[in-house]
Amino acid sequence: MPWWGWLIIGIVALLIGVVVFLFFFGRKLQRKQADAEKQMEAMKQQVSILVIDKQKKKMIESGLPEQVINETPKYSRRMKVPVVKAKIGPRVMNLIADAQVFEILPVKKTCTVMISGIYITELKSVRGGSVPKLPEKKGFMARMKEKAAGMMKKKQ
């Protein structure tokens, strides 16, 4: 067998090894995530908050407690997280919001939310209105068709 045949067999064996490793590692991470979800469900409580501000900030710049920042993995500290500055009773706190909740959370309004620790998991109601729906995101082709239609109108 020529040398390039052995090279291809080696590369295929390496790729199979990587896929098997990722499969087992992924299953381990899924179990960890399921355990974390169970803990969050157990700690949920309904709270009324006044949303002062919401921004996406890096974990280090978010104003969260040092213990929270120290417990996050080093590669996650530079990622941007949805941070909500809210008044809960007499205290002003920085909270982390779920990505979907962050999109629909109104600023400068009192809301009833489900909180698990410092994590906002669900928006229950908004004072003086209904809970806004998550806007549907358009696909790439739909956006391109709208752009093309807009350009055609400009030409005419």
- pLDDT tens digit sequence for 77-108: 888 999 999 999 899 999 999 988 998 898 89
Residue 105 in domain: yes
Same domain, 117 and 84: yes
Same domain, 12 and 49: no
Which pLDDT band holds residue 120 (cuts at 50, 70, 90)? very high
Which pLDDT band holds residue 129 (cuts at 50, 70, 90)? confident
Determine the structural domain holding residue 13 and report its residue range. Answer: 1-36
Same domain, 26 and 50: no
Three-state secondary structure readout of the chain: CCHHHHHHHHHHHHHHHHHHHHHHHHHHHHHHHHHHHHHHHHHCEEEEEEEEEEEEEECCCCCCCHHHHHHCCHHHCCCEEEEEEEEECCEEEEEEECHHHHHHCCCCCEEEEEEECCEEEEEEEECCECCCCCCCCCCHHHHHHHHHHHHHHHHC
Same domain, 25 and 63: no
Residue 90 in domain: yes
Domain count, the chain: 2
Same domain, 49 and 111: yes
Same domain, 122 and 49: yes
Residue 28 in domain: yes
Question: Tens digits of per-residue pLDDT, 11-21?
Answer: 999 999 999 99
Residue 18 in domain: yes
Question: Model pTM?
Answer: 0.68
